[in-house]
Amino acid sequence: MENHDALGEGFCKAQAERLRLLARIFWNVADREALESLDFAPFDGMGEAVERAREAVERDRRRALADDGAARDLRVEYTALFASSRLGAPLPYESLYADGGGLLMQGARDEVRELYRAGGYAAGQEDGEPEDHLSNELRFLAFLYDRARLAQEAGRDAERDGALSEASAFKEGHLDRWVPFFCDRASATAESDFYRNILVLLRSCVCDRASCQDSAHPERG
pLDDT digits (tens, 9 = 90+) for 118-165: 988 987 655 678 999 999 999 999 999 999 999 999 999 999 999 999
pLDDT in tens, 74-112: 999 999 999 998 888 999 999 998 867 676 767 889 999
User: Which of the four pLDDT bands, split at 50, 70 and 90, describes residue 211?
Assistant: very low
Give residue limits of the domains in the chain.
4-220
Q: Is 1 helix (H, G, I), strand (E, B) or coil?
A: coil
User: Mean pLDDT over residues 192-212, rounded?
Assistant: 82
Domain 4-220: CATH superfamily is TorD-like (1.10.3480.10)
Predicted model pTM: 0.89
Tell me if 40 sits within 8 A of 57, measured CB to CB: yes
Distance of alpha carbon 197 from alpha carbon 182, whole angstroms: 14
**Cβ-based burial of 131 (10 A; exposed 0-12, middle 13-18, buried ≥19):** buried
Q: What integer best gives the mean pLDDT of the chain?
A: 87
CB 44 within 8 A of CB 17: no
The answer to whether residue 213 scores a pLDDT higher than 70 is: no
Which residues lie below 8 Å from residue 76, measured CB to CB, with a gap of 6+? none
Give the pLDDT of residue 214: 39
Burial 84-109 (b: 16+ CB within 10 A, else e): eeeeebbbbbbbbbbbeeeebebebb
